[in-house]
């Protein structure tokens, strides 16, 4: 396989995300990264990464404080190359039970909900990811999850599911947007292979 281009891997700092682990994953693939500081960089970049650690509300506040919400919404709407991780997937939805009253980017219909009470929360550890037919980027395998909230559908998108008490959306793709509830940067060879496919997309 060819080495991915090192020219554009723009990472959005939200104030809550663990950027070091994300940057380390790209470094393993021989790809340089840079951290966004202005909204214009999001519009200009060929590839954008939205990492995820923290709550729905704190992540949205971090995006809003830097003026990132509008260019991110436009980018995702257009299906331009964007990779989101964990709560980065969740903020693409309209709202979350985790942070009542906080609006998400609203690029996908629906509200992020909590796992049912009869399963351990948060979900920590490895879980099987099973994509539906027709996915370009998403493949079957095991990925690392750390989440208390989840979505059960992503209308208009190709999805992969996992099970934790019930089926939930492990990831989805729309155009060149790939949104992962799991942490690809912490998912070993499986996660690195996904990032590589997205970079080469």
Q: Which residues are catalytic?
A: 86, 183, 185
Between 56-65 and 69-77, two packed helices, what is the crossing angle to 10 degrees? Answer: 100
Q: What's the DSSP call for residue 2?
A: P
Omega before 122 within 30 of 0, i.e. cis:
yes
Contact 4, 199 (CB under 8 A): yes
Q: In the Cβ-directed half-sphere of 25, how many Cα atoms lie within 13 Å?
A: 24
d(CA 175, CA 164): 27
Closest of 150, 87, 33 to residue 159, by C-alpha? 150
99 three-state secondary structure: coil
Q: What angle (nearest 5°) sits at the alpha carbon of residue 178, between those of residues 78 and 99?
A: 90
């Amino acid at each position: 396989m060819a080495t991915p281009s090192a020219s554009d891997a723009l990472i959005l700092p939200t104030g809550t995300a663990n950027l070091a682990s994300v940057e380390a994953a790209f470094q393993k693939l021989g790809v340089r990264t840079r951290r966004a500081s202005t909204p214009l960089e999001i519009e200009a970049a060929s590839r954008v990464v939205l990492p995820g650690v923290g709550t729905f509300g704190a992540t949205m506040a971090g995006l809003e404080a830097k003026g990132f919400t509008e260019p991110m919404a436009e980018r995702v709407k257009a299906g331009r190359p964007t990779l989101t991780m964990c709560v980065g997937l969740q903020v693409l939805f309209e709202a979350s039970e985790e942070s009542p009253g906080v609006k998400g980017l609203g690029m996908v219909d629906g509200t992020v909900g909590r796992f049912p009470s009869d399963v351990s929360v948060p979900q920590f550890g490895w879980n099987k990811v099973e994509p539906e037919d027709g996915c370009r980027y998403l493949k079957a395998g095991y990925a690392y999850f750390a989440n208390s909230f989840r979505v059960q559908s992503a209308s208009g998108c190709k999805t992969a599911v996992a099970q934790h008490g019930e089926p939930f959306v492990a990831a989805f793709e729309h155009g060149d947007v790939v949104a992962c509830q799991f942490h690809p940067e912490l998912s070993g060879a499986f996660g690195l292979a996904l990032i590589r496919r997205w970079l080469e997309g």
